[in-house]
Structure 1
Amino acid sequence: MIDVILPALPERELSLLSEETPQPSGPRLAGRVVLGGPVALPVTAKLVEPDPELRDFLRTEADNAVYHLVHLSVTCARDAPDPALHSVNLDVTLTAEPVRRGTTVFQPVAWSMTPRRLTAEAKATPPAQAAHLGPRLGFREVLHTAYGERVFLEARRELRSDPGWEIRHTSAARIGGTYRLAMVVRAPRGAVSRAAVAVGATVREGHTLHRFREELEEPLRLTADQ
Protein backbone atom coordinates (compact mmCIF):
# COMPACT_ATOMS: atom_id res chain seq x y z
CA MET A 1 0.00 0.00 0.00
CA ILE A 2 1.13 3.55 -0.65
CA ASP A 3 -0.06 6.95 0.54
CA VAL A 4 -0.45 9.55 -2.20
CA ILE A 5 -0.59 13.22 -1.27
CA LEU A 6 -3.62 14.67 -3.02
CA PRO A 7 -3.25 17.89 -5.02
CA ALA A 8 -4.65 21.14 -3.63
CA LEU A 9 -8.12 22.01 -4.90
CA PRO A 10 -9.14 25.34 -6.44
CA GLU A 11 -12.67 26.18 -5.31
CA ARG A 12 -15.64 27.84 -6.97
CA GLU A 13 -19.04 28.74 -5.58
CA LEU A 14 -21.82 27.25 -7.67
CA SER A 15 -25.09 28.86 -8.67
CA LEU A 16 -27.24 25.88 -9.57
CA LEU A 17 -30.00 26.42 -12.11
CA SER A 18 -33.52 25.10 -11.54
CA GLU A 19 -34.27 21.95 -13.55
CA GLU A 20 -37.96 22.86 -13.53
CA THR A 21 -37.48 26.19 -15.32
CA PRO A 22 -34.01 25.83 -16.87
CA GLN A 23 -33.70 29.35 -18.32
CA PRO A 24 -30.86 31.70 -17.40
CA SER A 25 -33.39 33.98 -15.67
CA GLY A 26 -35.00 31.10 -13.75
CA PRO A 27 -34.62 30.29 -10.05
CA ARG A 28 -31.14 29.46 -8.81
CA LEU A 29 -29.69 27.84 -5.73
CA ALA A 30 -26.77 30.11 -4.83
CA GLY A 31 -24.52 30.34 -1.81
CA ARG A 32 -25.12 26.72 -0.80
CA VAL A 33 -22.53 24.58 -2.61
CA VAL A 34 -18.80 25.11 -3.32
CA LEU A 35 -17.00 22.71 -5.65
CA GLY A 36 -13.34 21.94 -5.14
CA GLY A 37 -11.43 20.81 -8.22
CA PRO A 38 -11.47 18.60 -10.10
CA VAL A 39 -7.76 18.01 -10.38
CA ALA A 40 -5.99 14.90 -11.68
CA LEU A 41 -2.67 13.25 -10.94
CA PRO A 42 -1.26 10.58 -13.29
CA VAL A 43 -0.48 7.30 -11.58
CA THR A 44 3.03 6.60 -12.83
CA ALA A 45 5.62 3.91 -12.15
CA LYS A 46 7.57 6.52 -10.19
CA LEU A 47 4.56 7.28 -8.01
CA VAL A 48 4.03 3.63 -7.04
CA GLU A 49 7.76 2.79 -6.84
CA PRO A 50 7.67 2.00 -3.08
CA ASP A 51 5.14 -0.81 -3.63
CA PRO A 52 6.44 -3.68 -5.82
CA GLU A 53 2.95 -5.15 -6.22
CA LEU A 54 1.53 -1.90 -7.58
CA ARG A 55 4.59 -1.44 -9.77
CA ASP A 56 4.06 -4.88 -11.30
CA PHE A 57 0.36 -4.16 -11.79
CA LEU A 58 1.10 -1.00 -13.76
CA ARG A 59 3.63 -2.89 -15.84
CA THR A 60 1.07 -5.54 -16.85
CA GLU A 61 -1.37 -2.76 -17.85
CA ALA A 62 1.17 -0.57 -19.62
CA ASP A 63 0.35 -1.63 -23.20
CA ASN A 64 -3.36 -0.88 -22.93
CA ALA A 65 -4.24 1.46 -20.09
CA VAL A 66 -3.14 4.43 -18.03
CA TYR A 67 -4.43 5.44 -14.60
CA HIS A 68 -5.27 8.80 -13.07
CA LEU A 69 -6.10 9.85 -9.53
CA VAL A 70 -8.93 12.41 -9.67
CA HIS A 71 -9.63 14.53 -6.60
CA LEU A 72 -12.72 16.66 -5.87
CA SER A 73 -14.60 18.10 -2.94
CA VAL A 74 -18.07 19.42 -2.21
CA THR A 75 -18.58 21.98 0.56
CA CYS A 76 -22.16 22.61 1.67
CA ALA A 77 -23.20 25.58 3.79
CA ARG A 78 -24.10 24.58 7.34
CA ASP A 79 -26.11 27.68 8.28
CA ALA A 80 -27.95 28.34 5.02
CA PRO A 81 -31.54 29.57 5.28
CA ASP A 82 -34.42 27.16 4.77
CA PRO A 83 -35.24 25.14 2.78
CA ALA A 84 -32.35 22.90 3.79
CA LEU A 85 -30.47 20.76 1.30
CA HIS A 86 -32.19 17.39 0.92
CA SER A 87 -29.55 15.80 -1.34
CA VAL A 88 -26.43 16.70 -3.30
CA ASN A 89 -25.12 14.72 -6.26
CA LEU A 90 -21.72 14.97 -7.90
CA ASP A 91 -21.72 13.26 -11.30
CA VAL A 92 -18.71 12.58 -13.53
CA THR A 93 -18.84 11.63 -17.21
CA LEU A 94 -15.66 9.96 -18.48
CA THR A 95 -14.91 9.95 -22.22
CA ALA A 96 -11.99 9.10 -24.51
CA GLU A 97 -11.15 9.90 -28.12
CA PRO A 98 -8.41 8.12 -30.09
CA VAL A 99 -5.41 10.20 -31.05
CA ARG A 100 -5.26 8.57 -34.50
CA ARG A 101 -8.26 8.34 -36.77
CA GLY A 102 -9.61 4.91 -37.56
CA THR A 103 -8.64 3.42 -34.22
CA THR A 104 -11.04 2.44 -31.46
CA VAL A 105 -10.56 2.83 -27.74
CA PHE A 106 -12.48 1.64 -24.70
CA GLN A 107 -14.22 4.21 -22.53
CA PRO A 108 -12.57 5.19 -19.24
CA VAL A 109 -14.11 3.88 -16.03
CA ALA A 110 -13.97 4.71 -12.33
CA TRP A 111 -11.66 1.88 -11.31
CA SER A 112 -11.94 2.66 -7.60
CA MET A 113 -13.77 5.33 -5.56
CA THR A 114 -13.56 6.73 -2.04
CA PRO A 115 -15.42 7.14 0.20
CA ARG A 116 -17.70 4.30 -0.84
CA ARG A 117 -20.20 4.65 1.96
CA LEU A 118 -20.53 6.74 5.12
CA THR A 119 -23.11 6.82 7.87
CA ALA A 120 -23.54 9.19 10.79
CA GLU A 121 -21.81 6.59 12.99
CA ALA A 122 -18.98 5.81 10.57
CA LYS A 123 -15.48 5.96 11.99
CA ALA A 124 -13.85 6.18 8.56
CA THR A 125 -13.41 9.66 7.08
CA PRO A 126 -13.13 10.85 3.47
CA PRO A 127 -9.59 11.35 2.17
CA ALA A 128 -8.17 14.66 3.36
CA GLN A 129 -4.53 15.11 2.34
CA ALA A 130 -3.61 11.55 1.38
CA ALA A 131 -5.19 8.65 -0.47
CA HIS A 132 -4.32 5.12 0.59
CA LEU A 133 -3.90 2.91 -2.49
CA GLY A 134 -3.78 -0.84 -2.03
CA PRO A 135 -3.52 -3.81 -4.41
CA ARG A 136 -4.52 -3.18 -8.04
CA LEU A 137 -4.91 0.56 -7.27
CA GLY A 138 -7.96 0.05 -5.07
CA PHE A 139 -8.55 2.49 -2.21
CA ARG A 140 -8.05 1.10 1.27
CA GLU A 141 -10.81 2.12 3.64
CA VAL A 142 -12.66 0.48 6.51
CA LEU A 143 -16.46 0.52 6.32
CA HIS A 144 -18.47 0.48 9.51
CA THR A 145 -22.11 0.20 8.46
CA ALA A 146 -24.25 -1.44 11.10
CA TYR A 147 -27.63 -2.95 10.34
CA GLY A 148 -30.31 -0.25 10.18
CA GLU A 149 -27.94 2.72 9.90
CA ARG A 150 -28.90 5.35 7.34
CA VAL A 151 -26.26 5.93 4.67
CA PHE A 152 -25.73 9.64 4.06
CA LEU A 153 -22.86 9.52 1.54
CA GLU A 154 -22.48 6.81 -1.10
CA ALA A 155 -20.37 6.24 -4.21
CA ARG A 156 -22.44 5.32 -7.24
CA ARG A 157 -21.70 3.43 -10.47
CA GLU A 158 -18.16 2.28 -9.79
CA LEU A 159 -16.51 0.52 -12.77
CA ARG A 160 -18.62 2.60 -15.17
CA SER A 161 -18.05 5.72 -17.23
CA ASP A 162 -20.70 7.72 -15.34
CA PRO A 163 -19.58 7.49 -11.70
CA GLY A 164 -20.60 9.85 -8.93
CA TRP A 165 -21.47 10.34 -5.28
CA GLU A 166 -24.74 11.09 -3.55
CA ILE A 167 -25.01 12.94 -0.21
CA ARG A 168 -28.37 12.58 1.52
CA HIS A 169 -30.05 14.37 4.40
CA THR A 170 -31.02 11.84 7.08
CA SER A 171 -32.55 12.03 10.53
CA ALA A 172 -29.06 11.46 11.98
CA ALA A 173 -26.98 13.63 9.65
CA ARG A 174 -27.81 16.98 8.11
CA ILE A 175 -25.88 17.96 4.97
CA GLY A 176 -23.13 20.44 5.78
CA GLY A 177 -19.36 20.86 5.75
CA THR A 178 -16.76 19.54 3.32
CA TYR A 179 -16.85 16.11 1.69
CA ARG A 180 -13.61 15.07 -0.01
CA LEU A 181 -13.92 12.60 -2.86
CA ALA A 182 -11.43 10.72 -5.02
CA MET A 183 -11.43 8.13 -7.76
CA VAL A 184 -8.86 6.17 -9.72
CA VAL A 185 -9.72 6.32 -13.42
CA ARG A 186 -8.62 3.60 -15.81
CA ALA A 187 -8.30 5.13 -19.30
CA PRO A 188 -7.07 3.85 -22.67
CA ARG A 189 -3.48 4.47 -23.66
CA GLY A 190 -3.03 6.52 -26.82
CA ALA A 191 -6.24 8.49 -26.35
CA VAL A 192 -7.39 11.88 -25.11
CA SER A 193 -9.49 11.27 -22.01
CA ARG A 194 -11.68 13.79 -20.21
CA ALA A 195 -13.81 14.01 -17.08
CA ALA A 196 -16.88 16.25 -17.21
CA VAL A 197 -18.35 17.23 -13.84
CA ALA A 198 -21.88 18.25 -12.87
CA VAL A 199 -23.34 19.01 -9.46
CA GLY A 200 -27.02 18.64 -8.61
CA ALA A 201 -28.96 19.44 -5.45
CA THR A 202 -32.50 19.14 -4.17
CA VAL A 203 -34.34 21.13 -1.51
CA ARG A 204 -37.63 20.10 0.05
CA GLU A 205 -40.50 22.49 0.59
CA GLY A 206 -43.29 20.61 2.31
CA HIS A 207 -43.76 17.43 0.29
CA THR A 208 -42.26 18.93 -2.88
CA LEU A 209 -38.66 18.45 -4.03
CA HIS A 210 -37.10 21.18 -6.17
CA ARG A 211 -34.12 20.17 -8.29
CA PHE A 212 -31.14 22.31 -9.30
CA ARG A 213 -28.04 21.51 -11.35
CA GLU A 214 -24.87 23.04 -12.78
CA GLU A 215 -22.42 21.52 -15.26
CA LEU A 216 -18.84 22.75 -15.54
CA GLU A 217 -18.20 24.22 -18.97
CA GLU A 218 -14.75 22.69 -19.46
CA PRO A 219 -14.15 18.98 -18.83
CA LEU A 220 -10.95 18.07 -17.03
CA ARG A 221 -8.38 16.65 -19.41
CA LEU A 222 -6.61 13.56 -18.09
CA THR A 223 -3.01 13.63 -19.25
CA ALA A 224 -0.60 10.77 -18.72
CA ASP A 225 2.98 11.47 -17.72
CA GLN A 226 4.50 8.08 -18.22
Structure 2
Amino acid sequence: MIDVILPALPERELTLVSEETPQAPALTGHITLGGPVCVPVTPELVDGDPELLAFVDAEAHAAAVYHLLLCAVSCAQDAAEPALHTVNLDLTLSTDTGAAGPAAFGPVAWSMAPHQLTDTADASAPVRLGPRLALRDDSHAPPPGERVCLEARRELRSDPGWEIRRTETVPISGTYRLAMVVRAPRGTVSLAAVAVGATVREGHTPHRFRAEIAQPVRLADRECVAPGDR
Protein backbone atom coordinates (compact mmCIF):
# COMPACT_ATOMS: atom_id res chain seq x y z
CA MET A 1 0.00 0.00 0.00
CA ILE A 2 1.28 3.47 -0.90
CA ASP A 3 0.28 6.82 0.57
CA VAL A 4 -1.10 9.29 -1.98
CA ILE A 5 0.47 12.70 -1.53
CA LEU A 6 -2.21 15.25 -2.38
CA PRO A 7 -0.41 18.29 -3.84
CA ALA A 8 -1.41 21.93 -3.77
CA LEU A 9 -3.81 22.39 -6.67
CA PRO A 10 -4.27 25.43 -8.94
CA GLU A 11 -7.56 27.05 -8.02
CA ARG A 12 -10.30 28.92 -9.84
CA GLU A 13 -13.38 30.58 -8.37
CA LEU A 14 -16.48 29.38 -10.15
CA THR A 15 -19.50 31.30 -11.40
CA LEU A 16 -22.50 28.97 -11.47
CA VAL A 17 -25.50 29.93 -13.59
CA SER A 18 -29.09 29.01 -12.93
CA GLU A 19 -30.29 25.81 -14.59
CA GLU A 20 -33.88 27.02 -14.37
CA THR A 21 -33.81 30.73 -15.28
CA PRO A 22 -30.83 31.89 -17.38
CA GLN A 23 -31.56 35.52 -16.47
CA ALA A 24 -31.40 34.83 -12.73
CA PRO A 25 -28.39 36.13 -10.75
CA ALA A 26 -25.44 33.73 -10.87
CA LEU A 27 -24.03 32.01 -7.80
CA THR A 28 -20.60 33.56 -7.28
CA GLY A 29 -18.02 33.66 -4.51
CA HIS A 30 -19.15 30.40 -2.94
CA ILE A 31 -17.30 27.55 -4.69
CA THR A 32 -13.66 27.23 -5.74
CA LEU A 33 -12.38 24.30 -7.80
CA GLY A 34 -8.86 23.06 -7.19
CA GLY A 35 -7.29 21.22 -10.13
CA PRO A 36 -7.96 18.74 -11.54
CA VAL A 37 -4.39 17.48 -11.80
CA CYS A 38 -3.65 14.04 -13.20
CA VAL A 39 -0.57 11.89 -12.70
CA PRO A 40 0.05 8.71 -14.70
CA VAL A 41 0.39 5.58 -12.58
CA THR A 42 3.78 4.32 -13.74
CA PRO A 43 6.00 1.52 -12.42
CA GLU A 44 8.19 4.24 -10.89
CA LEU A 45 5.23 5.60 -8.92
CA VAL A 46 4.40 2.24 -7.31
CA ASP A 47 7.82 0.60 -7.12
CA GLY A 48 7.72 0.79 -3.32
CA ASP A 49 5.01 -1.89 -3.29
CA PRO A 50 5.85 -5.18 -5.10
CA GLU A 51 2.18 -6.19 -5.35
CA LEU A 52 1.17 -2.91 -6.96
CA LEU A 53 4.17 -3.02 -9.29
CA ALA A 54 3.21 -6.52 -10.44
CA PHE A 55 -0.37 -5.37 -11.07
CA VAL A 56 0.70 -2.35 -13.14
CA ASP A 57 3.06 -4.53 -15.19
CA ALA A 58 0.34 -7.12 -15.80
CA GLU A 59 -2.17 -4.47 -16.85
CA ALA A 60 0.31 -3.12 -19.38
CA HIS A 61 0.02 -6.45 -21.20
CA ALA A 62 -3.78 -6.12 -21.01
CA ALA A 63 -3.53 -2.78 -22.88
CA ALA A 64 -4.71 -0.73 -19.89
CA VAL A 65 -3.13 2.30 -18.28
CA TYR A 66 -4.06 4.11 -15.10
CA HIS A 67 -4.11 7.76 -14.09
CA LEU A 68 -4.45 9.34 -10.65
CA LEU A 69 -6.83 12.31 -10.90
CA LEU A 70 -6.79 14.77 -8.00
CA CYS A 71 -9.12 17.69 -7.34
CA ALA A 72 -10.67 19.70 -4.52
CA VAL A 73 -13.86 21.64 -3.95
CA SER A 74 -13.77 24.54 -1.48
CA CYS A 75 -17.07 25.99 -0.26
CA ALA A 76 -17.78 29.21 1.60
CA GLN A 77 -20.92 31.24 2.13
CA ASP A 78 -22.33 34.31 3.83
CA ALA A 79 -24.67 33.60 6.71
CA ALA A 80 -27.12 36.14 5.28
CA GLU A 81 -27.47 34.25 1.98
CA PRO A 82 -29.35 31.00 1.24
CA ALA A 83 -27.33 28.00 2.41
CA LEU A 84 -25.75 25.52 0.04
CA HIS A 85 -27.86 22.38 0.23
CA THR A 86 -25.84 20.13 -2.11
CA VAL A 87 -22.70 20.50 -4.22
CA ASN A 88 -21.85 18.03 -6.98
CA LEU A 89 -18.62 17.48 -8.86
CA ASP A 90 -19.30 15.48 -12.02
CA LEU A 91 -16.81 14.09 -14.52
CA THR A 92 -17.34 12.70 -18.00
CA LEU A 93 -14.54 10.38 -19.14
CA SER A 94 -14.05 9.80 -22.85
CA THR A 95 -11.46 9.01 -25.51
CA ASP A 96 -10.15 11.75 -27.80
CA THR A 97 -10.86 10.02 -31.11
CA GLY A 98 -9.21 12.86 -33.00
CA ALA A 99 -5.88 12.26 -31.28
CA ALA A 100 -5.77 8.46 -31.13
CA GLY A 101 -6.92 5.31 -32.76
CA PRO A 102 -9.96 3.22 -31.81
CA ALA A 103 -10.07 1.83 -28.29
CA ALA A 104 -11.19 -1.62 -27.17
CA PHE A 105 -12.85 -0.09 -24.09
CA GLY A 106 -13.50 3.35 -22.69
CA PRO A 107 -12.02 5.04 -19.62
CA VAL A 108 -13.80 4.46 -16.29
CA ALA A 109 -13.43 5.47 -12.67
CA TRP A 110 -11.53 2.44 -11.36
CA SER A 111 -11.62 3.62 -7.73
CA MET A 112 -12.58 6.78 -5.82
CA ALA A 113 -11.87 8.36 -2.43
CA PRO A 114 -13.37 9.41 -0.16
CA HIS A 115 -16.07 6.84 -0.78
CA GLN A 116 -18.32 8.04 2.03
CA LEU A 117 -17.94 10.58 4.80
CA THR A 118 -20.32 11.17 7.68
CA ASP A 119 -20.80 14.13 9.98
CA THR A 120 -18.17 12.73 12.32
CA ALA A 121 -15.65 11.60 9.70
CA ASP A 122 -12.32 13.34 9.10
CA ALA A 123 -12.32 14.89 5.63
CA SER A 124 -8.52 15.21 5.74
CA ALA A 125 -7.92 11.48 6.34
CA PRO A 126 -4.99 10.10 4.32
CA VAL A 127 -5.66 8.36 1.01
CA ARG A 128 -3.71 5.27 0.01
CA LEU A 129 -3.28 3.13 -3.10
CA GLY A 130 -4.07 -0.43 -2.07
CA PRO A 131 -4.17 -3.77 -3.91
CA ARG A 132 -5.18 -3.54 -7.58
CA LEU A 133 -4.87 0.27 -7.35
CA ALA A 134 -7.94 0.57 -5.16
CA LEU A 135 -7.98 3.88 -3.30
CA ARG A 136 -8.35 3.38 0.42
CA ASP A 137 -9.35 6.02 2.94
CA ASP A 138 -10.18 6.00 6.62
CA SER A 139 -13.89 6.57 6.13
CA HIS A 140 -16.28 3.76 6.98
CA ALA A 141 -19.86 2.87 6.21
CA PRO A 142 -22.05 5.04 8.45
CA PRO A 143 -23.95 3.42 11.29
CA PRO A 144 -27.74 3.21 10.89
CA GLY A 145 -29.36 6.62 11.07
CA GLU A 146 -26.17 8.65 10.59
CA ARG A 147 -26.31 11.09 7.69
CA VAL A 148 -23.75 10.92 4.88
CA CYS A 149 -22.31 14.34 4.01
CA LEU A 150 -20.06 13.27 1.12
CA GLU A 151 -20.48 10.29 -1.19
CA ALA A 152 -18.69 8.98 -4.29
CA ARG A 153 -21.10 8.09 -7.06
CA ARG A 154 -21.07 5.94 -10.20
CA GLU A 155 -17.76 4.17 -9.62
CA LEU A 156 -16.66 1.86 -12.48
CA ARG A 157 -18.52 4.07 -14.96
CA SER A 158 -17.51 6.83 -17.34
CA ASP A 159 -19.65 9.46 -15.55
CA PRO A 160 -18.36 9.38 -11.95
CA GLY A 161 -18.64 12.13 -9.39
CA TRP A 162 -19.10 13.13 -5.77
CA GLU A 163 -22.04 14.68 -3.96
CA ILE A 164 -21.58 16.90 -0.90
CA ARG A 165 -24.72 17.27 1.23
CA ARG A 166 -25.73 19.63 3.97
CA THR A 167 -26.87 17.75 7.08
CA GLU A 168 -28.82 18.80 10.14
CA THR A 169 -25.62 19.27 12.13
CA VAL A 170 -22.91 20.13 9.59
CA PRO A 171 -23.16 22.78 6.84
CA ILE A 172 -21.30 22.56 3.55
CA SER A 173 -18.09 24.41 4.33
CA GLY A 174 -14.32 24.11 3.93
CA THR A 175 -12.27 22.10 1.46
CA TYR A 176 -13.08 18.58 0.25
CA ARG A 177 -10.08 16.76 -1.23
CA LEU A 178 -11.04 14.15 -3.84
CA ALA A 179 -9.02 11.44 -5.60
CA MET A 180 -9.82 9.02 -8.41
CA VAL A 181 -7.94 6.31 -10.29
CA VAL A 182 -8.97 6.22 -13.95
CA ARG A 183 -8.50 3.05 -16.01
CA ALA A 184 -8.03 3.93 -19.68
CA PRO A 185 -7.08 2.15 -22.90
CA ARG A 186 -3.40 2.15 -23.75
CA GLY A 187 -2.37 3.94 -26.94
CA THR A 188 -5.16 6.53 -26.77
CA VAL A 189 -5.61 9.98 -25.24
CA SER A 190 -8.40 10.10 -22.67
CA LEU A 191 -10.26 13.20 -21.55
CA ALA A 192 -12.00 14.19 -18.31
CA ALA A 193 -14.66 16.89 -18.64
CA VAL A 194 -15.54 18.57 -15.35
CA ALA A 195 -18.74 20.25 -14.16
CA VAL A 196 -19.76 21.55 -10.74
CA GLY A 197 -23.39 21.91 -9.65
CA ALA A 198 -24.96 23.36 -6.54
CA THR A 199 -28.41 23.56 -5.00
CA VAL A 200 -29.54 26.29 -2.62
CA ARG A 201 -32.88 26.46 -0.86
CA GLU A 202 -35.01 29.45 -0.09
CA GLY A 203 -37.55 28.04 2.32
CA HIS A 204 -38.63 24.75 0.77
CA THR A 205 -37.84 25.83 -2.80
CA PRO A 206 -34.61 24.43 -4.33
CA HIS A 207 -32.69 26.40 -6.94
CA ARG A 208 -30.10 24.63 -9.11
CA PHE A 209 -26.89 26.16 -10.49
CA ARG A 210 -24.10 24.73 -12.64
CA ALA A 211 -20.69 25.58 -14.08
CA GLU A 212 -18.87 23.56 -16.75
CA ILE A 213 -15.11 23.84 -17.19
CA ALA A 214 -14.49 24.90 -20.78
CA GLN A 215 -11.60 22.56 -21.58
CA PRO A 216 -11.37 18.92 -20.45
CA VAL A 217 -8.30 17.53 -18.74
CA ARG A 218 -6.14 15.37 -20.99
CA LEU A 219 -5.01 12.16 -19.33
CA ALA A 220 -1.55 11.78 -20.82
CA ASP A 221 1.74 10.05 -20.05
CA ARG A 222 2.95 12.96 -17.95
CA GLU A 223 1.55 15.16 -15.19
CA CYS A 224 -1.16 17.37 -16.63
CA VAL A 225 -3.65 20.00 -15.58
CA ALA A 226 -6.66 21.59 -17.16
CA PRO A 227 -5.59 23.83 -20.09
CA GLY A 228 -6.83 26.95 -18.37
CA ASP A 229 -4.43 26.34 -15.46
CA ARG A 230 -1.22 26.14 -17.50
Query: Common fold, TM-score beyond 0.5?
Result: yes
User: Alignment partner of 2:44: what SS?
Assistant: coil
Q: Could you list the per-position Cα deviations for residues 116-161 of structure 1 after superposition, in whole angstroms to 9, with x for gaps in the alignment?
A: 0011122x4345xx63111000112231511110001000000000
User: Alignment partner of 2:46: what SS?
Assistant: coil
Deviation at 1:189, TM superposition (A): 0.3
Task: Confirm or deny: 8 A CA contact 1:13 1:34 kept in the other structure.
Answer: yes
C-alpha distance in structure 1 between counterparts of 2:195 and 2:204, whole Å: 26
User: Alignment partner of 1:62: what SS?
Assistant: helix
Task: Confirm or deny: 8 A CA contact 2:100 2:189 kept in the other structure.
Answer: no
Unaligned ranges ≥5, structure 2: 223-230
Q: Does 1:7 align with 2:39?
A: no
Q: 1:224 aligns with which of 200, 221, 226?
A: 221
Identity %: 63
C-alpha distance in structure 1 between counterparts of 2:103 and 2:45, whole Å: 29
Deviation at 1:3, TM superposition (A): 1.4
Task: Confirm or deny: 8 A CA contact 1:65 1:186 kept in the other structure.
Answer: yes
C-alpha distance in structure 2 between counterparts of 1:166 and 1:16, whole Å: 16
Unaligned ranges ≥5, structure 1: none
Give the match for residue 161 of structure 2.
Answer: 164
Q: Does 1:140 align with 2:136?
A: yes
Give the match for residue 149 of structure 1.
Answer: 146
Give the match for residue 71 of structure 2.
Answer: 72
Task: Confirm or deny: 8 A CA contact 2:77 2:83 kept in the other structure.
Answer: no
C-alpha distance in structure 2 between counterparts of 1:13 and 1:97, whole Å: 27
Task: Confirm or deny: 8 A CA contact 1:195 1:221 kept in the other structure.
Answer: yes
Q: TM-score, normalised by structure 2?
A: 0.90
What is the number of equivalent residue pairs in this alignment? Answer: 220
C-alpha distance in structure 2 between counterparts of 1:8 and 1:29, whole Å: 25
The range that moved more, 90-99 or 64-73, is: 90-99
